[in-house]
Chains A and B, each alone.
Chain A
């Protein structure tokens, strides 16, 4: 009954607001494409993105359809335990800002890397090309899957709200994502993320407030629906509860491995701004996670247990319940915007893996900037088309699991341990990194299929006899995959020869940065261009410029490469 009136009541407003939104995005894309002059600009916005935009876009690009549709649907199904979606994510994000962001920003500038595969190769001094090759393949697979998942989410929402067929929904979503990513690259992405981040944030603040004025706090109502809805373990006890909490907490392990988050750290304009960007991102996260949880809980109060057929529709249905058509249209356009935001970031990361790492790295090392920008656009188009095709195949899989199992978890397990080690552990080696990526990817994929495999092998009966084994098999795959990937990285690295001359790089993390520049001139002002992205409008010289000049002067990269 609830879902019948959707297309008629708000569809026109959703389409109207979404059309306006689309025009704004196209405007941003066209405007920034005029300014674009190098592949650095295309991939990380010429390192000229300010702290507030970086903080917002880091969150908006990563939260996506998973946050806007997935977390509310999880809360609708499990109750207050769904707040634990933030249990690992929030502290993991803080640790990433505190422990990775500055080091990664500086180090990628030192080695002139604009993508993670290139950074890994240079940092680990890998002559074989395996590190770059394997990490580029991992990115293509999982980021491609990510784009597909976002397009499925966008298509589902368009279908439900407007009554268009899912084919049309997926096609429209795909065309928008590919179109404006092609036009503007990261520059468009970062700025559109900023706008989208603000809309999502407003939506997740206003919706629970309106619901609160109607129902008061939802907990009393939830307890009357069922005691498990107010239980932090969703009524589970023993090993099931422990593994349930571990599963939620383990989601945070994906942060360091997800390049669309890490690339934000690399794109910020000045290193000192990372502190403010972290504050913005974290506050965004608190509000969004708690807001998204409350949206699902209030939907349970408003519609009752089993009152919504498809859990993915929880957020749109509650929005339509509380708001008149026009406002509901704006909020739901924000939900669509979040999906587009994620998809375009992820598409861009996959594009850079192919163009920068494979084409520029192997096929044509002397390619001009014009050629690289043009090829980036072609590859975005091709990958986007492939993702739309994938979206058709995966359209019936729940978005929550699709993202966690086939995109977020895979990237987290494969890339995360290497990334952390690259900026913290001098002893990490290229061989260890490649082994870790392969183990992480394989474990993540196999763990997701583990119960199916055990069933086929006829072993499920003995597993079900043990609460521990049942819980373990049901735990989120990123948990075992991350542990095994990290263990592999450590063991193989210790067995192989580490790269040389790393001490100097690590020393630069703690040096007073202006001290590094003092050697370059009597005034302490280096004579090279800033990392602001464009020579025509140089910004104040930043910390990373001084490190880059210092490293260039010492020429140890040249020695290492020869």
Chain B
């Protein structure tokens, strides 16, 4: 009984753990993307 209970809990909270990872990936990726865009512009601007 306790074993099947723990399996159920993995199914229950597994998605939430995955969502947390997704949030981390989004936050880092979005930050890098903004930085890249800004850097690229600064280079272009200095070039002109």
Provided the pairs A223-B1, A275-B31, A278-B26 are in contact, do residues A515 and B16 lie with their beta carbons within 8 angstroms? no
Q: Give the interface SS of chain B, mostly helix, strand, loop or mixed.
A: helix
Minimum CB–CB distance for A282 against chain B, Å: 5
Partner of B11, one of A97, A232, A275, A514: A232
- Looking at the complex, which of A17-25, A84-92, A477-485 is the stretch in contact with chain B? A84-92
- Of the candidates A86, A94, A230, the one whose C-beta lies within 8 Å of that of B26 is A94
Which residues of A lie under 8 Å from residue B19 when comparing CB positions? 90-91, 94, 282, 286
Contact between B27 and A86, CB atoms less than 8 A apart = no
Q: Is A191 an interface residue (CB 8 A)?
A: no
Cα separation A514 to B30 with both chains bound (whole Å): 17
- Picked from B27, B37, B38, the residue with its CB within 8 Å of the CB of A275 is B27
CB closest residue in chain A, given B15: A87
Interface size on A, residues (CB 8 A): 30
Cβ contact of B8, chosen from A220, A232, A282, cutoff 8 A: A232
CA distance A512 to B38 in the complex (A): 6
Contact B41 A279, beta carbon cutoff 8 Å: no
Interface of A is mostly: helix
**Shortest Cβ gap from B25 to chain A (Å):** 10
For window 1-48 of chain B, which residues contact chain A by CB distance below 8 Å? 1-2, 5, 8-9, 11-13, 15-16, 19-20, 22-23, 26-27, 30-31, 34, 37-38, 40-41, 44-45
- Over the window 518-553 of chain A, the binary record of Cβ atoms lying under 8 Å from chain B Cβ atoms (1 yes, 0 no) is 100000100000000000000000000000000000
Question: Is residue A513 contacting chain B, with contact meaning CB distance below 8 A?
Answer: yes
A residues within 8 A CB of B26? 94, 97-98, 278
Chain B residues with CB under 8 A of A514: 38, 41, 45
Closest Cβ–Cβ distance, residue B31 to chain A (whole Å): 6
Q: How far is the CB of B4 from chain A (nearest CB, A)?
A: 9
A143–B1 Cα distance when bound, in Å, is 46
Q: Are A219 and B5 in contact (CB under 8 A)?
A: yes
Say yes or no: B34 contacts A515, CB within 8 Å: no
Least distance between A59 CB and chain B CB atoms (Å): 14
| Complex interface residues of chain A between 80 and 110 (CB less than 8 A to chain B) | 80, 83-84, 86-87, 90-91, 94, 97-98
Least distance between A518 CB and chain B CB atoms (Å): 6
Residue on B nearest A515 in the bound complex, by CB:
B41
A223 engages B5 (CB within 8 Å): yes
Known contacts A80-B8, A230-B8; A279 and B23 CB within 8 A of each other: yes
Per the 8 Å Cβ criterion, residues 277-303 of A in contact with B are 278-279, 282-283, 286, 290
Q: Would A231 and B8 count as touching, CB distance under 8 A?
A: yes
Please pick, from A86, A220, A231, the residue contacting B16 in the complex, using a CB distance under 8 A: A86
- Chain A nearest CB, measured from B16 CB (Å): 7
How many Å from the CB of B19 to the closest CB on chain A?
Answer: 5
Contact B34 A272 (CB under 8 A): yes
Contact of B22 among A91, A275, A283, A524 (CB under 8 A): A91
> Is the CB–CB distance between A83 and B12 below 8 Å?
yes
Docked Cα-Cα span, A98 to B15, in Å, equals 19
State the CA gap A82–B13 with chains docked (Å).
12
A341 to chain B, nearest CB (A): 23
Q: Do residues B16 and A279 form an inter-chain contact, with CB atoms below 8 A?
A: no
What A residues does B5 contact at CB under 8 A?
Answer: 219-220, 223, 230
CB distance from B9 to the nearest CB of A (A): 7
Complex Cα–Cα for A183 and B34 (A): 38
Judging by beta carbons under 8 Å apart, are B22 and A94 in contact? yes
Does A515 lie within 8 Å of B12, measured CB to CB? no
- Closest Cβ of chain B: how far from A298's Cβ, in Å? 16
- Contact in complex: B40, A286 (CB < 8 Å): no
Inside 8 A of A290's CB, which chain B residues have their CB?
Answer: 16
CB distance from A174 to the nearest CB of B (A): 36
- Residues of B participating in the A interface, judged by any CB pair closer than 8 Å: 1-2, 5, 8-9, 11-13, 15-16, 19-20, 22-23, 26-27, 30-31, 34, 37-38, 40-41, 44-45
12 A-B Cβ contacts within 8 A?
Answer: A80-B9, A83-B13, A90-B16, A94-B22, A98-B30, A219-B5, A219-B9, A223-B5, A275-B31, A283-B23, A286-B16, A512-B37
Shortest Cβ-Cβ A-B pairs, 9 listed: A512-B41, A275-B30, A515-B41, A512-B37, A232-B11, A90-B19, A282-B23, A514-B41, A232-B12
Interface residues, chain A, with chain B CB atoms under 8 Å away: 80, 83-84, 86-87, 90-91, 94, 97-98, 219-220, 223, 230-232, 272, 275, 278-279, 282-283, 286, 290, 512-515, 518, 524
Given contacts A80-B8, A83-B13, 7 further A-B contacts (CB under 8 A): A90-B19, A223-B5, A230-B5, A230-B8, A272-B34, A278-B23, A514-B38
